[in-house]
Amino acid sequence: MFIEIALVSGIVLILGSILANKFGLIEPVVLIVAGILVALVLPVMWNLQLPSELVLSIFLPLLLFWEAANISKREVRKVLRGVVLNATLLVIVTAVAVGFAGQWMGLGLGTALLIGAAVAPTDATAVAAMGRGVDRQTMTQLRAESLINDGTALVVFALALELASGDEDITLAHASGSFAISLIGAIAAGLAVGWMISRIVSMTDDAMRSNVFTILAPFVAYFLAETVEASGVLAAVVTGLFMAQVGPRRYNAAARSLYFPFWGMTTYLINGILFVFVGIELPAIISGLSSAGLWQAIGATFMIYAVMILVRFLFGETVIRFIRLIDRRPSQRLRRTNLRQRAVNTVAGFRGAISLAVAFSIPTTLGSGPFPGRDIAMFITSGVVLLSLIVQGLLLPTVVRWFQANPGPNVNTESSNEHEEQKALLKSTQDLIQALPSLAEENNISAKAMERVRSEYRMNASVWATELHENEDQESQARAQLHADEHRLRVVAAQYSRERMIELRDSGDINDESLMRLLRRIDLEELRITGPVEME
């Protein structure tokens, strides 16, 4: 079973990604359609099932740990109040509103609440992939919200599962108690595991072992939290946030060189697999629905999607007005947003692989029979995700342009972020030049070696100072073009050197092991010029 799942999803993922990239299509939508086509061509694929335990205990912790490890704590602090409200109260309101809308459309309340729990959280990966052009403040809020709201959604999901199973009546006291235990236990478990793993990592200089321990972190956090009946995925998020803060001091350069490529590739594959399997399972789900049931599901899909978007917009407008009413501090006025920015926040709140993962987590059986409403919940959740990616994906560029025409006074741009990075690079290099003599003396390094290294850093600092000045003075187009040409020539030179090394291997002057070592040196030099590979 696992081999078939890996083989099918891998082939479809590769072909779908190539197709989406070639024609500029929305990749998740292409992957779902590709999965549907595979299932129609090969009906035997209908029997393939992605185990709900695999999704809940492996896929979700990995995805959320990586997202948590790549978010700015400083930027989150600026929008913390909005993040907390959207990640908790908005998720609950959305799930309940979707539940009542689904019940009005003829679904059982338990099934409708399961759908609400699945579609309530926004997806951090979808936001990062499709939110191009969104200002930095809104993007930070969306990504931070996407991390925390999954824990809230899974608490709602667990309660809805109890209701759908008929195990227990849901009361306010029961729901509040479950949420408190889930939150407090997850935070405690996440911090404990993060501290433990970071201490272990700091005890080894081996890059491979450091990353093995890090891979274990989200799973240890998940199962520890689940043992005390807390939210495992929220614990994985807390561990990721903790590791993001202490990691830069714990990991060496070799460990980081493995860390980012591994996690970027792994989370990309997991997201792709989820979209592919939605497509593969949809034909089987549709064939299991009656004609009337299918039309009911289609109608419910559009209704629930409309309710989901409307609730997000109205919640944002209501909360903003309430906060302005009770908090009139000058610092609060500096954080105010306008209607256009809030519209971007609504449209950029994509649903994606996380919603699909929650839907996949619905058990296939209840007792001796199938779980009631699982097929229709899967169908509607998949439909809502598709509508979110297509409708909001097509609408977002227009809304972003509308916002950029009047962005408001407090919007941070990506260029300001790059400017900060350039200033930090220059400042750290200038400080290093001053500290080099004492560093050389402490480490018993000769004055001649120190001077050679210091001259190289002085040259780099001069180049970076010039580039920083040119970014502040847009009239220096000639000098900017000169530096761009120099960078391009260095990249071409690295490519030439790489081809020359391969020729030397082919002629027998060096062996394959030497070629690999030399290529790594050339690759590092090229990456020094072009910058690190973006994994999102």
Exposure string for 144-168, b = 16+ CB within 10 A, e = fewer: bbbbbbbbbbbbbbbbbbbbbeeee
Question: What pLDDT score was predicted for residue 471?
Answer: 58
Instruction: Please give the helix or strand (H or E) that residue 369 lies within, else none.
Output: strand 369-370
To the question of domain 2-406 being in CATH 1.10.150.120, the answer is no
Lowest mean pLDDT among 45-54, 190-199, 220-229: 45-54
Question: What pLDDT score was predicted for residue 475?
Answer: 46
Q: What are the φ/ψ torsions at residue 365 (nearest 5 degrees)?
A: -130, 155
pTM assigned to the model: 0.75
Lowest mean pLDDT among 1-15, 410-424, 479-493: 410-424
How do residues 377-401 score in pLDDT, each as one tens digit?
A: 989 998 999 999 889 988 888 888 8
Q: Looking at the chain, which residues constitute the CATH 1.20.1530.20 domain(s)?
A: 2-406
Question: What pLDDT score was predicted for residue 8?
Answer: 79
Question: What pLDDT score was predicted for residue 413?
Answer: 47
What rounded mean pLDDT belongs to the chain? 80
Alpha helices in 443-476 (DSSP H): 447-472
Compute the Cα dihedral for 150, 151, 156, 158 and give only its sign: positive
Distance CA 391, CA 397 (A): 11
Lowest mean pLDDT among 43-57, 119-133, 258-272, 495-509: 43-57
Lowest mean pLDDT among 76-85, 166-175, 300-309: 166-175
More confident residue, 307 or 232: 307
115 pLDDT higher than 90: yes
Question: What pLDDT score was predicted for residue 166?
Answer: 64
**Residue 422 CB-half CA count within 13 A:** 17
How do residues 402-436 score in pLDDT, each as one tens digit?
A: 877 666 555 554 445 566 777 777 888 888 888 98
